[in-house]
Amino acid sequence: MEIPILYEDKDTLVINKPVDLVVNRARSIKGMTVQDWVEERGWYERTLELKNARTQDIEDLYRQRSGICHRLDKETSGCLMIAKHPEALSYYLDLFKNRKIIKTYLALVHGRVDPDQGETILPLKRSLYDREKWQVHYEGKRAVTAWKVEKRFNYPGHEHWKDSLTLLKLNLKTGRTHQIRVHMSFLGWPIFSDYKYLNRKFSRADREHLSHHFLHASSIEFNSYGGKKISIEAPLPMDCEKFLSSLT
């Protein structure tokens, strides 16, 4: 399995996760995952052999996660950070916890998003009716998503959304499961081709043009374990680029 590497040093790896590749292993998952790919790297085995003075908790956490610092949905492409040893994983998890890592996404959504930029603060909780989905709920955890309009497109045949699509740049100020997808759908701007949070009729129609939801982790910025300020960008998948170029 070939995965594009966007950045690498002795402590850190950032990959451009392809669409339809699952990040973490699970009993329900068949086929290779990013976790399997990591464990095939030569440095992973060497890391486990070097015990140093690390605690057992850090060692166990590293084995459990294979150094993967955060998650992306199966159909979401883009920047995914991996720590190459337990100490780096502990360091990066602390940065994520304290919101010191900037993650930016690109999403194509139905409708004309107005105003040009804004922020939504809506609590999220696992759906009461479908355990694989999440919903806005007053009992949920605080979730904050900021957006900025990049470009607007005409998309005839969708009167419900005034024949419009909008390309958004989004910044996650919290990292809840399905956060962008749930927030955008709740606001009336569901992500293009999203089979979970878009009306089934429209989702099927969208998938005639794009086989996966249009959500891409386009960049990530952080201070590395080695002390360097790092800024990484991931190019859009080719099918997303092609679809955008077909719009007016």
Which residues does the annotation mark as catalytic? 73
How many Å apart are CA 174 and CA 183, to the nearest integer? 12
Residues whose CB falls within 8 Å of the CB of residue 98, separated by 6 or more in sequence, listed in order: none
Neighbours of 139 (CB within 10 A): 7
Strands 102-110 and 164-172: antiparallel
Nearest CA to 123 out of 147, 96, 144 is that of 144
**What is the chain's percent helix, strand, coil content, to nearest 5?**
25, 30, 45
